[in-house]
Amino acid sequence: MRVVFAGTPEFSVPCLEACRGSGADVVAVYTQPDRPAGRGRKLAPSPVKQAALAAGIAVEQPESLKGAEAQAALAAYRPDLMVVVAYGLILPRKVLAIPRLGCWNVHASLLPRWRGAAPIQRAILAGDAETGVDLMQMEAGLDTGPVLLERRTPISRADTGGSLHDRLAALGAEALAEGLRHVLAGKTMAATPQAADGVVYAHKLDKAESALDFARPAIELERQVRAFDPWPGSDAEIAGERVRVWGATALDQRHAAAPGTLLAVHRDGLDLACADGVLRVTAIQRAGGRRISAADYLNARPELREARP
């Protein structure tokens, strides 16, 4: 079976490896054009491109798949199946029709909840107890296709955007590998249409969302800190200093202070008043610095401890 793989970020790499290990022939990899990265803003290849080149697979990086030339180039690979994982380009109807078996997508949510660009972080922000990955038969709509296979995983209060990303990437590769085994064995896979109810869109993350608003409940800010780790992070002002917050726990404590007030400091954290409850900040990054514990932060700002024994 001839497979064309399309993906770009680190999330996609385990699925590329699943395709390679399945027994299918990965004839080409499609990925986003090289983008400026780092302080020098030099063009850098995507993680998927790096993995494909290391494996000796042909790499294609069109700016778009809407043109006849790009579509003809794809058709020339004579794919039986196209596997799409966080590729970042829209596949027109003509592209979806090129592979004999159509196009599959690995999506990091339990559809139809969290269709769209940022399903991992939005699930944490919403306080979802569970998420997962769906292997989906693609159609023209945004993440609307019928589901072929599903893997589920709980979301704990210890999960961050990074930890959940890594777990779902592995689960996605497992689901994809199982789907490929079925097809290579000549089995027909049942496709379950998505429910009409429960559709929620996971809008793309924006740096403007990074500010912690202490006029919100503490539990929502805890989720934000976890969801936005490692990107875009969560920014706050603590006793007059702008910092980035990397660790925080919501406490069910009553108080009468204004939102954002520093209520207490101790080695376990800095307690800040919220509209409902208290947010205990446990890991902080000062401007130009690295992540440090609350205890190390207090060592750098002893006046906070002296003011609040």
Is 156 within any annotated ligand binding site?
Answer: no
Is 109 within any annotated ligand binding site?
Answer: yes
3-state secondary structure 135-202: EEECCCCCCCCCEEEEEEEECCCCCCHHHHHHHHHHHHHHHHHHHHHHHHCCCCCCCECCCCCCCEEE
Is 110 within any annotated ligand binding site?
Answer: yes
Query: In the block, which residue shows the tokens 């961050």?
Result: 160
- Other Cβ atoms within 10 Å of 58 Cβ, number: 13
Residues 6+ away with beta carbon under 8 Å from 96: 102, 103, 138, 139, 140
**Tokens coding 126:** 């919403």
8 Å CB contact between 248 and 222: yes
Closest CA to 174 of 48, 52, 21, 54: 21
Is 112 within any annotated ligand binding site?
Answer: yes
Phi and psi at 190, nearest 5°, equal -75, 135
**Tokens coding 129:** 């107890």
Calpha distance 174→32 (Å, rounded) = 24
State the chain's maximal CA–CA distance in angstroms.
72
Type of residue at 35: R
Closest CA to 14 of 86, 73, 101: 86
Binding positions for (6S)-5,6,7,8-tetrahydrofolate: 109-112
Binding positions: 109-112
